[in-house]
Structure 1
Amino acid sequence: MTGGRWREALEQRARDVLPAPVLEYVLQGARESVTTAESTRTWASARFRPYVLRDVTEPDLSVTVLGHRLEVPWGVAPTTLQRAVHPEGEVAMARATAAAGSMMVVSSNAGTPFTAIAESGVHWWLQAYLPADRTLAEPMLARAVEAGARAVVLTVDTPVVGTKYSAGPSVWETVDPGIVRVNLDEDYDRLPGAEKALDLGPHDIGWLAEITGLPVVVKGVLRGDDARRCVQAGAAAVWVSNHGGRQLDRAAPTAACLPDVVAAVGEDAEVYVDGGVRSGLDLLAALALGADAVFLGRLPLLALVDGADGVAALHATLREETREALRLAGCRTVVDTHGIVLADRGNHL
């Protein structure tokens, strides 16, 4: 997978292979998809002031997230329906991601048992939605802890599921229900209190940390003041995300929100970002704006069409692009990138 148009080729491959409802689910945003479309363009508006006369013989792409060293500055964000994209689903994603020295966040709606994902050797965290009755989440959380999850990612931007406009049958009407949500108790959806919590609060961060014994990452934050509240409530990291534009349409691009969150958090917690990152140059922009790591959602899911080999090729291409970007920016390490984005351009950055 080489050349400047590899991302278009990746999407075209998915269009050729995936059933229409699955493809639509992967690509769609909420309502008119304003946020989804805007996210990528905003990263592309970043302009750099590179250093020169720096030794960039061996760029170091590594970062540390919650004490764990990654060989690359990105991880795989949580996505469901991976087994609808490829029969091996999360297992293929995990194998390729582990081999790349990256990590993955596993959706609570995953179609593969946590134990099978863990057997790949990948470093992984659990993504969780909390139900109205918090106790209903406890069995799933316990299974994740037992299977070796190293953190819990609490998604906080989904009190209800954002409206999507469908061109045909919903993906949920067409896929085998046995390839999703296998880590939740049987009949979970029919239990009283299983609906998503409308009353999430800072106290839920402490509750999750206490019940799992794991660090808690709060995902779905776009404001500095909210980020500060998360840290004060005990969050180990804050994840700047607009859910890939799949929740509140017209939500601001994450590239525009990241600097405010980084400033509000300071040195008290780590900050991650996702949303529209499509290349090594986008990764460079995110790191330069202060992200400790970047997470990718749609790209790995599209690459998964070709199983572990497709995901491995994606990681390899991003590694090549990011290494080149660091060299051309005069940066030997990820930390060296901080501050090289030209501020006040009027294009959100």
Structure 2
Amino acid sequence: MSTVAPNDPAAARGISRRTQSDIYRAGISGARPAVPVDGRALDAAAQAALSAEAYAYIAGGAGAEATVAANRAEFDRWQVWPRPLRDVTVRDLSVDFLGRSRPTPLLLAPLGVMELAHPEGDLAVARAAASAGVPYTVSNQASFPLERIAQSAPGAPRLFQLYWSASDQLNASLLGRAEASGCEAIVVTLDTHLLGWRTRDLDLAYLPFTRGMGIAQYTSDPVFRDLVTQRTSASATDGSPVKVTPKTIAAGVSIARKGAPLTGSRSLRDNLRSPLPRAAVETFLDVFSTPSLTWDDLAKAREWTSLPIILKGIVHPDDAERAVDAGLDGVWISNHGGRQIDRSVPTLAVLPEISERVSGRVPVVFDSGVRSGADAAIALALGADVVAIGRPCAYGLGIAGEQGVREVIRNVLAELDITLGLAGLTSVAELDRDALRAV
């Protein structure tokens, strides 16, 4: 299978031709792609492959999912306007991002609780992203610790997403670990200070964090472990052992396997018979979100890390401009894929105005609703510097593990490349409003 060599812009040229050639040549022997190429078929295959709870958590949105639909519908307002009879033999997908040349304008959005899709979760996603030279934004809600994810793809470009917790000491520790493990930037997610009203999850009464899933960054962190210890010490009364139930076992195994032991030399059996697994989940639920977070708090992040800081969850032009004025290093236009507020403004609708305000001063990252290379081309033409994809990679992971993620990335890049060429353009830098027609 074709891959893009990391940090080699030339390797991304002509990716569509190689991809189609590989698929059709393999088809002579009866081989088929590991995951569907069509986005709708990819979604359907993921639904068939995943448990009802896993698919609901990954695919679901807030409320009636009007924002999810609006994100997609906004792309229908734009058409690529082809200009033929131009030499497009050589095409270049490379862009500059965070001071470095990247082979493509693609970024993987943070994907939380990927153990729902595949046992290797973030490790498989990180390896797939590395094979394509695509930066991967490691989620604060990953199923494996930062350090282990870094080890799975040494030297690969990575960012770290921070959910600003109620503990400044924990925030500082997480950012220190991100910097030490080789992340290039911090992505502070702003729109999850309250958990969205996610109807699919509510109907199933299912939140993976309460099962000890998606909290490996926490259980592997020394500050968090101290918080858990303090909690158990404060709540200990008669010292009677905790009853070991199937749910306790599942939570304890998940914590021990994905994170780090909560109590040094304790055996897993000891941990299961202690209140620690339950306390870890309860501590996480206590510190996860910070409804009181304001602009003034963001200054603390500069004390915790020397890495560039990008704000994710910006959908208003005034907020984008304020972020630049405050000295932040990037703006990530996102409504969390429609998972937080129902009937929110679709991100593509505000991309042009935000880009006009801040483009050239800081990089503009875009996500929410991107399902294909043609979608990415439209977002780039409307002012995005890089485009992030999320759900399609999670679907690929659930269907075919690391290979599935590789193919999703390959397919998006191949379609972007061929869209560029058929539009009469030879580089991502040439994508602008003149390449589009409003419907």
TM-score higher than 0.5: yes
Among 144, 161, 169, the alignment partner of 1:127 is 161
Among 319, 325, 329, the alignment partner of 2:423 is 329
Amino acid at match of 2:313: G
User: 3-state SS of the aligned residue for 1:131?
Assistant: coil
Distance 1:327 1:137, change over 3 A: same
Amino acid at match of 1:248: I
Instruction: Give the match for residue 144 of structure 1.
Output: 178
Distance 1:311 1:198, change over 3 A: same
Contact preservation (8 Å) 2:172, 2:301: no
The structure with the larger Rg is: 2
Pair 1:259 & 2:259 matched = no
Amino acid at match of 2:60: Q
Instruction: Give the match for residue 379 of structure 2.
Output: 286
Name the CA distance, whole Å, in 2 between partners of 1:162 and 1:180: 17
Pair 1:296 & 2:389 matched = yes
CA deviations over 1:289-323 (Å, ceiling 9, x no partner) = 01000001101111111111001111111122111
Contact preservation (8 Å) 2:34, 2:403: no
Instruction: Give the match for residue 170 of structure 1.
Output: 206
Name the CA distance, whole Å, in 1 between partners of 2:71 and 2:134: 23
Deviation at 1:195, TM superposition (A): 4.6
Deviation at 1:3, TM superposition (A): 11
Bigger mean CA offset, 194-203 vs 262-271 = 194-203
Distance 1:343 1:319, change over 3 A: closer
Structure 1 unmatched runs, 5+: none
Distance 1:70 1:176, change over 3 A: farther
Name the CA distance, whole Å, in 2 between partners of 1:2 and 1:136: 40
Name the CA distance, whole Å, in 2 between partners of 1:152 and 1:227: 17
Instruction: Give the match for residue 78 of structure 2.
Output: 46
Amino acid at match of 2:109: A
Instruction: Give the match for residue 37 of structure 1.
Output: 69
Amino acid at match of 2:397: L
Deviation at 1:171, TM superposition (A): 4.0
User: 3-state SS of the aligned residue for 2:111?
Assistant: coil
Pair 1:93 & 2:125 matched = yes
Name the CA distance, whole Å, in 2 between partners of 1:337 and 1:237: 20
Contact preservation (8 Å) 1:205, 1:216: no
Distance 1:3 1:11, change over 3 A: closer
CA deviations over 1:28-75 (Å, ceiling 9, x no partner) = 000110001121121132123333443211111112210133222111
Name the CA distance, whole Å, in 2 between partners of 1:311 and 1:66: 24
Distance 1:192 1:296, change over 3 A: closer
Instruction: Give the match for residue 318 of structure 1.
Output: 412
Task: Map 1:78-227 to 2 at 5 A.
Answer: 78-119=110-151, 120-121=153-154, 122-166=156-200, 167-172=203-208, 176-177=211-212, 179-184=213-218, 185-186=224-225, 187=228, 189-190=282-283, 194-227=287-320
Contact preservation (8 Å) 2:314, 2:334: yes
Contact preservation (8 Å) 2:355, 2:364: yes
Instruction: Give the match for residue 8 of structure 1.
Output: 40
User: 3-state SS of the aligned residue for 1:217?
Assistant: strand
Name the CA distance, whole Å, in 1 between partners of 2:403 and 2:191: 33
Contact preservation (8 Å) 2:381, 2:436: no
Name the CA distance, whole Å, in 1 between partners of 2:414 and 2:387: 16
Contact preservation (8 Å) 2:68, 2:337: yes
Deviation at 1:191, TM superposition (A): 7.7
Deviation at 1:200, TM superposition (A): 2.4
Amino acid at match of 2:428: V
Amino acid at match of 1:190: T
Supply the RMSD in Å over aligned alpha carbons.
2.1
- Percent identity of equivalent pairs: 34
TM-score where L is the length of structure 1: 0.92
TM-score where L is the length of structure 2: 0.74
Instruction: Give the match for residue 15 of structure 2.
Output: none
